[in-house]
Amino acid sequence: GNSVTQMEGPVTLSEEAFLTINCTYTATGYPSLFWYVQYPGEGLQLLLKATKADDKGSNKGFEATYRKETTSFHLEKGSVQVSDSAVYFCALRANAGGTSYGKLTFGQGTILTVHP
């Protein structure tokens, strides 16, 4: 079956530090890949996505590249801010038809805390 593995957290950084959160996946075929962010007390929001190999998703200074050869989709940001403190989830959606079309498989989440 499909699965997503994220690096263990929590991750604690100082403001303006470089961020990497690793994500690897197992899936048949060519899934779409996502990063979702959950701010304290809120639901999940889509941060960025990539739908095919070598695509780079980007948003709010965050980037992730779909690497099929290493089955990875690592999240990076060059300079984090205190407001980036949140839980980050890597997820995949199998590109199959029928009723499974919208279902997401999530990683376990990585807590990021950024200090001033």
4 binds another protein (CB under 8 A): yes
- How far is the C-alpha of 82 from the C-alpha of 49, rounded, in Å? 23
Contact status: 73 vs another protein (CB under 8 A):
no
Q: What is the DSSP letter of 84?
A: G
| Stretch of 13-21, 63-71, 73-81, 105-113 contacting another protein, by CB under 8 A | 105-113
CA atoms within 13 A on the CB side of 115: 4
The mark string for 27-46 relative to another protein (x by CB under 8 A, - otherwise) is -----x-x------xxxxxx
- The answer to whether residue 97 forms part of the interface with another protein (CB under 8 A) is no
**Tokens encoding 99:** 């009723």
**Which helix H or strand E contains 42, and what residues bound it?**
none
Contact 76, 18 (CB under 8 A): yes
Number of amino acids touching another protein (CB under 8 A): 22
104 binds another protein (CB under 8 A): yes
Q: What span, in angstroms and rounded, lies between the C-alpha atoms of 103 and 90? A: 14
Judged by CB under 8 A, does residue 49 bind another protein? yes
Contact residues for another protein (CB under 8 A)? 4, 32, 34, 41-46, 49, 51, 89, 93, 99, 101-104, 106-109
